[in-house]
Amino acid sequence: MRPFSWLSLFLIAIYFVYGAYVPFWSLWLESKGISAEQIGLLIGLGLGIRFAGNLLIMGRANRATLLIPTCRYLAVLSLLCYLGFYWVDDFWALLALMLLANFIYPTLLPLSEALAARMMLQVKLDYGKVRLWGSAAFIVGSTLVGALVQHYGASWVLHAMILGLLLLTGLSWLPMTPAPQDAPSSGNKIGFRSLLTDKSFLIFLLVVSLLQGSHAAYYGFSALYWKAHGYAENVIGYLWALGVMAEIGMFALSRRLLKGFSYQQLFFIGGLGCVLRWTLLANTTELAWLLVAQLLHAVTFCVSHLGAIRYMTQQLPAEQVIPAQTLYAAFPAGVVMALLTAVAGFGYQQVQGEVFWLMAMLVIPVFFIRVPKRFMGQG
């Protein structure tokens, strides 16, 4: 199977599962009698363990030829982990299983991103057009699960995730042709240490941590917040789907719309979108403004993420892209998101929607931080 088709199908399966998990896992936990503060703790610690999973697993799969075999084994283990949720109700058992599941499953995302980044260089893959299929699957997942939860209850969150994991496991065993090949060495040191001692890369991690971490309250508590203000689960699913539809449009048009922008400019635009979006969510739950806020997902997530991809593929030598992808997943989407989700859980318990003000303030430093250039680009 050609790299475009393989990666598109693989991302479809991954993001279908996320379409069930991200908007509605808090509702599934609530159906188990878990409080908002405990939900914040569970989700936050789950995000935190991603840090260890990303570093340990991706640290061993640090060559392009190891990426697909690692995807296959993690897909099988992820399916087994989430099947275990059918037999747990106790808080501590849920915590243990969430830690295990979040150690394994989320690593599939940086693995797929590392595969895409490698194939961008190897066969000139159009990243935006591949990634939009994942976003489309997220829409299908969130919309479908929202309707199922509305009519049949929160148990369908887990049922849908299991269906997606079965699809993911089957797809992962299909061959990719041409297979990813290790990049020829440029003489640069390969590994985490060389990146973590580089000033430019550390500043890059700080900026993307602020941008992506500001989504913590949205990812963890928007469904609970909107439900508390009278929105049905299927409407919540539609709102999430709208955000991802905006994301799809940006990914599809990214080469045309963002061709002339530097990664620094993309970070600045992403920061502006974050301040506006979280300010809207902190001030109102009126449907018209929620629609505007969700359309801004194209900017807050997509433009920021494309800025990160542009930095890694243009400023780093080819053999350092996989370690960089690992650290990008481990810090902004892992440990930072974990800490901020736990903080958001406590904040939501106390002040509900006003926690989005904190998310808006987090982004302010982005406007004053410049990520220095590191290497001449890869193209």
CATH of the domain at 288: 1.20.1250.20
SS3 assignment, position 214 = coil
pLDDT digits (tens, 9 = 90+) for 44-103: 788 778 778 878 887 777 778 888 999 999 999 999 999 999 999 889 999 999 999 999
**Count of structural domains within the chain:** 1
- Provide φ and ψ at 185, rounded to 5°: -70, 140
Q: Answer yes or no: is 33 within a domain.
A: yes
Residue 274 lies in a domain: yes
| CA 140 – CA 115 distance, rounded (Å) | 24
Residue 51 lies in a domain: yes
With respect to residue 229, please indicate whether it lies within any of the assigned structural domains.
yes
Which residue did the predictor score with more confidence, 280 or 183? 280
What pLDDT, on a 0 to 100 scale, did the predictor assign at position 201? 93
Residue 316: inside a domain: yes
Question: How far apart are the C-alpha atoms of 121 and 113, rounded to whole Å?
Answer: 13
Residue 175: is its pLDDT beyond 70? yes
Secondary structure, 3-state, 86-135: HHCCCHHHHHHHHHHHHHHHHHHHHHHHHHHHHHHHHHCCCHHHHHHHHH
Query: 166 and 79 in contact (C-beta within 8 Å)?
Result: yes
* pLDDT cut 90: percent of the chain above it: 47
The pLDDT of residue 78 is 96
Q: Is residue 373 part of a domain?
A: no
pLDDT tens for 351-367 read 888 999 999 999 999 99
In a domain, 345, yes or no: yes
pLDDT in tens, 19-49: 899 888 988 998 988 887 788 888 878 877 8
Residue 10 has pLDDT above 80, yes or no: yes
Identify the domain containing residue 211 by its residue range.
Answer: 3-176+191-368
pLDDT at 241 over 90: no
* Within-domain flag for 184: no
Stretch 14-19: mean pLDDT: 93
